[in-house]
Amino acid sequence: MTGKPGGGDSPVSGRRGEIDRATSLIESARNLVIFTGAGMSAESGIPTFRGEDGLWQGYRPEHLATPEAFERSPEVVRSWYRWRRDLIEKVQPHRGHQALASWCLHSGKKSCVITQNVDGLHQRSGCPDVVELHGSIRHDRCHRCGQRALDLDAVFCSCGGPLRPGVVWFGEPLPEAAVDRSLEQIDDCDVMVVIGTSAVVHPAAGMVFRALEIGASVIEVNPAPVLPAPVLHISGTAKEILPRIFSTGSVNGENPA
Ligand code: NAD
């Protein structure tokens, strides 16, 4: 049941047992929670933070995504986010996003996507219920009073405070409403599918361990799985695996790209 790093390149037939088990767990789920991280969007063309292409002009993303970085060099942080926003606008959800959204819409089951991603690709693919644990890159808010900004080109809020991306940075608390909603869903779930996260960014990563604690079956989709037993590992990418395990009856579980 353990996956091997890099096994995403092996033929699907080698992972048939895991894929079949995951499919039947999903089919028999009463309440399914899907928990996603940066790897979910990698095949749409958005780099993960820790991947080889995560660097930006020599900066490590972990050093830019902090309140201290913004307070020290607001223009550097703003340009990094402008670059990420422009990139996100140009890319599309891939067929893994689409298979997941289609399953959530048509399976008739209770389900919810909890994401650490800030790119909005789950919403753009039509997912009906998405909790954004780390906020959204698609709007700004005031670093001083918290008010949401309407103009993405504005630099200061009406209160005089500096405007910043509407995301949660390292060292900042998660939005309370998103945490409450996530815990409510997780405490009631019987199956969780974890996709494309290194599960090292806390407290979000703790949500996966909470699902294990309450006895939910946990499935991990990742080319280099990281979660401990008894998680069912499927060593592969989101784009490759999700259309197979989130099948709503189309041939071979494939959705159009
Ligand atoms: P991470 O960069 O720490 O880990 C990414 C994980 O995805 C790794 O385990 C990797 O093996 C896996 N992965 C890579 N390609 C994959 C693929 N094609 N399919 C499935 N899995 C794949 O990401 P994280 O755990 O989400 O933590 C990083 C933090 O950075 C999060 O808080 C997130 O908010 C933020 N972030 C968001 C985005 C985004 O919104 N798209 C992008 C980068 C980082």
Judging by DSSP bridges, how do beta strands 135-142 and 110-115 pair with one another? unpaired
- The pLDDT of 134-143, averaged and rounded, is 95
Name the CATH superfamily for 47-90+136-167. SIR2/SIRT2 'Small Domain' (3.30.1600.10)
Q: Quick one: average pLDDT of 100-104?
A: 97
Residues composing the chain: 257
**Average pLDDT value over all residues in the chain:** 90
CA distance 131 to 134: 9
- pLDDT at residue 135 is higher than 70: yes
Residues 187-207 have pLDDT tens digits of: 999 999 999 999 988 888 899
pLDDT at residue 60 in the model: 85
Which residues neighbour 39 within 8 Å (Cβ) at sequence distance 6 or greater?
48, 195, 196, 197, 222, 223, 237, 238
Reply yes or no on whether the pLDDT at 253 is more than 50. Answer: no
pLDDT band, residue 3 (cuts 50/70/90): very low
What is the 138 CA–ligand 1 centroid distance (Å)? 18
Provide DSSP, 93-153: --HHHHHHHHHHHHS-SEEEEEE---S-HHHHTT-S-EEETTEEEEEEEETTT-PEES-TT
Residue extents of the structural domains in the chain: 1-45+93-133+174-247, 47-90+136-167
DSSP assignment of the chain: ----TTGGGS-GGGGHHHHHHHHHHHHT-SEEEEEE-THHHHTTTPPPSSSTT--BTTB-HHHHSSHHHHHH-HHHHHHHHHHHHHHHHH----HHHHHHHHHHHHS-SEEEEEE---S-HHHHTT-S-EEETTEEEEEEEETTT-PEES-TT--B-TTSPBEEEEEPPTTSPPPHHHHHHHHHHHHT-SEEEEES--S-STTTTHHHHHHHHTT-EEEEEESS--PPTT-EEEES-HHHHHHHHS-SSSGGG----
Rounded to whole angstroms, the Cα distance separating 65 from 53 reads: 16
Determine the atom of ligand 1 nearest the C-alpha atom of 37. Answer: 26
User: Distance between CA 54 and CA 162 in Å, rounded?
Assistant: 26
Whole-number Å distance, alpha carbon 45 to ligand 1 midpoint, is 12
What is the structure's pLDDT at 150?
Answer: 82
Protein residue closest via CA to atom 14 of ligand 1 = 39
What's the pLDDT at 178? 97
Confidence of residue 257 (pLDDT cuts 50, 70, 90): very low
What is the rounded radius of gyration, in angstroms, for the C-alpha atoms of the chain? 18
Q: Longest C-alpha distance within the chain, in Å?
A: 59
**What would the pLDDT profile of 150-160 be if each residue is shown by its tens digit?**
888 899 999 99
Catalytic positions: 134
Indicate if the pLDDT at residue 4 is higher than 90: no
Of 114, 120, 111, 99, give the one whose Cα is nearest residue 46: 120
Quickly state the pLDDT bin for 126 (edges 50, 70, 90).
Answer: very high
Please tell me the residue having the least CA distance from ligand 1 atom 43: 48
Do the beta carbons of residue 115 and residue 40 sit within 8 Å? Answer: yes
pLDDT band at 175 (very low <50, low <70, confident <90, very high): very high
Closest CA to 60 of 197, 175, 200, 170: 170
Residue 68 above 50 pLDDT? yes
Q: What is the pLDDT of residue 254?
A: 41
What's the pLDDT band for 59 if we cut at 50, 70, 90? confident
pLDDT in tens, 74-97: 999 999 999 999 999 999 999 999
Q: Which CATH number fits domain 1-45+93-133+174-247: 2.40.70.10, 3.40.50.1220, 1.10.3720.10, 3.40.50.720?
A: 3.40.50.1220
What's the average model confidence in pLDDT over 98-123? Answer: 97
In this prediction, residues 57-66 reach a mean pLDDT of 85
Task: Report the share of the chain in percent with pLDDT over 90.
Answer: 79
At 251 the pLDDT is: 39
Which is nearest to 164 in space by CA: 238, 234, 77, 243?
Answer: 77
* Residue with CA closest to ligand 1 atom 21: 196
pLDDT in tens, 201-251: 888 889 999 999 999 999 999 999 999 989 999 999 999 999 999 987 543
**pLDDT band at 31; cut points 50, 70, 90:** very high
CB within 6 Å of ligand 1 — which residues?
A: 37-39, 41-43, 46, 48-50, 116-119, 134, 195-198, 201, 221-224, 226, 237-238
